[in-house]
Chains A and B, each alone.
Chain A
Amino acid sequence: MTSTNLQKPPPKPIKTRRGGVQSIRTRQAIYLLLPTLIAIVLVAGYPLFITFYYSLTDASISSPDKATFLGLGNFWFTTDEGNAIGILQDPKWWSSVKYTVGFSLISVTLELILGMIIALVVSSTFKGRGFLRTAMLIPWAIPTVVSAQMWKFMYDSEFGLLGRTLKTMLNGDAILADSSTALWAMIGVDVWKTTSFMALLLLAGLQSIPSDMYEAADMDGASKWTQFWKMTLPLLRPTILVALVFRTLDALRVFDVMYVMLGANKAADTSMSAYARLQLIDNSQLGYGSAVAVLIFAIIMAVTVAYVTTLKVKFD
């Protein structure tokens, strides 16, 4: 009797009571989250939806209400006369993609390496460390438009501090005149500006590694070099991945540096966002510009998914 009694499934009342608490908690959580969810739907969901909608039309910015439905015509369309007018058929768009991706890859890599070095330096104890940690954030605190304008003056080949030297190095060419040389100028600005932010993120990760591990490693006679590769780097991996995701996504939607330093037209050759802006605002093609925005959204989404799945980033 007793054994059968023991083998009985757990009594029902307990199960329902547990479920009751859980469902009450879930309901409570939903109520608490509701305002936030509504806010997100209003400020993020609606614009996203309307952008998707416009991307399928030929809307103009001066009269958005008068729009005809085009389907995917903004993305790929060849007229009867054989003119390719879709975004994906526009070499200017592909040029902006190429430059933006190149800009992101190079600048984020440089920022990671330099940021790591800086983080390692400022995490060690020395006099004036607090001051240095604050001071290194100054470039990051200046609005990009301001710093880009400042660098533009410095890069000027006729009266700029750096531009005049660079001109002799480039056989008399102005660095900002050509997209391929201007790219390096802009990478320089981005690295100058965001390395400190990267360093700060990495520094936070470094601080969370317990110091007794290093003491033990010292006792065992591991060199500093080995300690870095075998201990610091593996333990810092989650921090590095989160920092990389942040910076890459940020770099892919770069706009201000290009716009300020090269002007609206040339910026559209080098930045995806500037290309979208040019079509949407300057050319008043709300539909076409929205389609570009959708493509940028898709590209950034793909990069994010790739990061999260292949590198197993945990955001916690």
Chain B
Amino acid sequence: MKKTVLMLSTALIAAALSSAHAVKVTLACGAVGQELEMCKAGADRWAKKTGNTVAIFESPNLTNDRLGLYQQQLAAKSSDIDVYQLDVVWPGLLDQHFVDLKGKVPQSAIDQHFKGIIAANTVGSKLVALPWFTDAGLLYYRTDLLAKYGYKSAPKTWAEMASMAKKIQVGERRTNTDFNGFVFQGKDYEGLTCDALEWLTSYRAGSIVDDSGKITVNNPNTIKALSAAASWVKTISPSGVTTHAEEEARGLFQSGNAAFMRNWPYAWSLGQGADSKVKGKIGVAPLPKGGTTGQNAATLGGWQLGVSNYSTNQKEAIDLVLYLTGPEEQKIRAIEGSYNPTIPTLYKDKDILKANPFFGSLYDVFTSAVARPSGPTKEKYNQVSQAFSGAVHSVLTGKKTATVAVKELEADLIKIKGRGW
């Protein structure tokens, strides 16, 4: 009798111990395109390996909405979410809520990533998050249509792109009235800040606020860049482009209704999917230069994984982050979802290059992408970005001329800056 009691109790204790070992970690990840499925699959692989379970917290599509939600969760010191997926512009804003990963993960796991991205994730000496995938703006084009209208290669300058788009649009509209030359992200939100920063950089107009915190946006090149963009709306781009984000642009391009598209790398594998009308007809090139004296430019995007200070399972959460950001998982995500690895050696991987040929040819685009001014503007970055995208939107919709809008934007930014960033 005593023996059975003893055995029972040891069995119970053992059960209790093992269940204490297997914990549930909650991971918040995005849901743009196939992001959510990929996230689930990756988390499941880790769960299988470690015996823990992962719950997925679905976040909103738009990055602004996501930040708002996260800020509320974090300000309330909520332990509901253990691992957050962070935009590259957030570490400076949210660093106080995250565990310093330096010292908690092996140094080699940090060093394997691009130095620039690790720098973007470091606030002071604190490593807020580990990079999961990087992003850079790309120009997608229809190889079949370029050939049909006698073009041999992707456009080198914006002016060239506009004239190609015009010719293709005129031709295609004879059979398809819904056809447009160029689609991009023109809605007033963070995505427009990314697109417009590319236009500015391509015309060598600086990046709104420079590294020292000086407001540089009011210059002739900015006005040139924004005027060029405004001239696209209602000529080669539909008027609705000023209400569109990434997914609307992809929807138009993927259904065969656009010749050119500005989007992030994720659109590649979806465009090559079985249900895509443009499968096998997509080319990818660096975004055009602003005139012959301009440069190619791409805004640095990308997402990181950080562990919340308020997590009750920090050890397991850090392990999940290490696994998901590691080379093995990044390779799967690159092949299946064309998510750009943050590990340089993976850009030489044969399987990855086979799935995404442009990773090799556009390597420089990814390594030289321009950062948004979240570093120098710190906690006021969101206000700067709002002021900028609002000004650009007013130019695109024809409410203001570029000259007026940029001048007013400068005044707004001075106001936001106040005594300092």
Which A residues are closer than 8 A to B by beta carbons?
Answer: 60-64, 79, 81, 83-85, 156-159, 163, 167, 172-174, 176-178, 262-266, 277-278, 281-284
Contacts and interface: CB of A to CB of B under 8 A. Distances in A.
B86 to A, nearest CB: 14
Contacts of B74: 62
B119 to A, nearest CB: 22
B87 to A, nearest CB: 13
A177 B240 contact: yes
Given A174-B239, A177-B243, A263 B64 contact: yes
Interface of B: 62, 64-65, 67-68, 71-72, 74-75, 93-94, 96-97, 178, 180, 187-189, 234, 238-240, 242-245, 248, 251-252, 257, 379-380, 382-383, 386, 389-390, 393, 397, 399, 414-415, 418-419
Most buried by A among B65, B93, B257: B65
A43 to B, nearest CB: 17
Contact of A62 (B97, B240, B386): B97
28 contacts: A60-B379, A62-B97, A83-B418, A84-B415, A85-B415, A85-B418, A157-B239, A158-B178, A158-B257, A159-B251, A163-B240, A176-B243, A177-B242, A177-B243, A177-B397, A178-B397, A263-B187, A264-B62, A264-B68, A265-B389, A266-B393, A277-B68, A281-B71, A282-B67, A282-B68, A283-B382, A283-B383, A283-B386
Nearest to B183: A158
A83 B64 contact: no
Contacts, number: 97
B188 A265 contact: yes
B65 A174 contact: no
Given A282-B67, A284-B379, A79 B418 contact: yes
B415 A83 contact: yes
Contact of A157 (B68, B93, B240, B415): B240
B74 to A, nearest CB: 7
A70 B310 CA distance: 31
Nearest to B67: A282
A82 B189 CA distance: 29
Most buried by A among B189, B239, B245, B383: B239
A263 B71 contact: no
Contact of B75 (A62, A81, A265, A277): A62
Most buried by A among B94, B180, B188, B234: B188
A16 B74 CA distance: 61
Contacts of A264: 62, 64-65, 68, 189
Contacts of B97: 62
Contacts of B94: 62
Nearest 8 A/B pairs, CB to CB: A157-B240, A174-B240, A177-B242, A281-B68, A158-B240, A174-B239, A265-B188, A176-B243
Contact of B71 (A157, A173, A174, A284): A284
Given A62-B93, A157-B240, A176-B240, 4 more contacts: A158-B180, A158-B238, A158-B244, A265-B189
Query: Chain B: interface secondary structure?
Result: helix
Contacts of B382: 282-284
Contacts of A282: 64, 67-68, 382, 386
A63 B96 contact: yes
Contacts of B75: 61-62, 64
Contacts of B415: 83-85
A259 B189 CA distance: 12
Given A159-B251, A172-B239, A178-B399, A263 B67 contact: no
B243 A174 contact: yes
B239 to A, nearest CB: 4
Contacts of B414: 81, 83
Nearest to A170: B239
Nearest to B242: A177
Contacts of A156: 240, 243, 248
A84 B414 CA distance: 11
A177 B396 CA distance: 10
Contacts of B62: 263-264
A28 to B, nearest CB: 40
Contact of B188 (A62, A158, A266): A266
Contacts of A81: 414
B251 A281 contact: no
B189 A263 contact: yes
B6 to A, nearest CB: 51
Contacts of A158: 178, 180, 238, 240, 244, 248, 252, 257
Given A60-B379, A284-B71, A263 B238 contact: no
B240 A265 contact: no
Contacts of B243: 156-157, 174, 176-177
A176 B386 CA distance: 18
Contact of B96 (A62, A64, A262): A62
Nearest to B399: A178
Nearest to A182: B243
A281 B72 contact: yes
A32 B314 CA distance: 48
Contacts of A79: 418-419
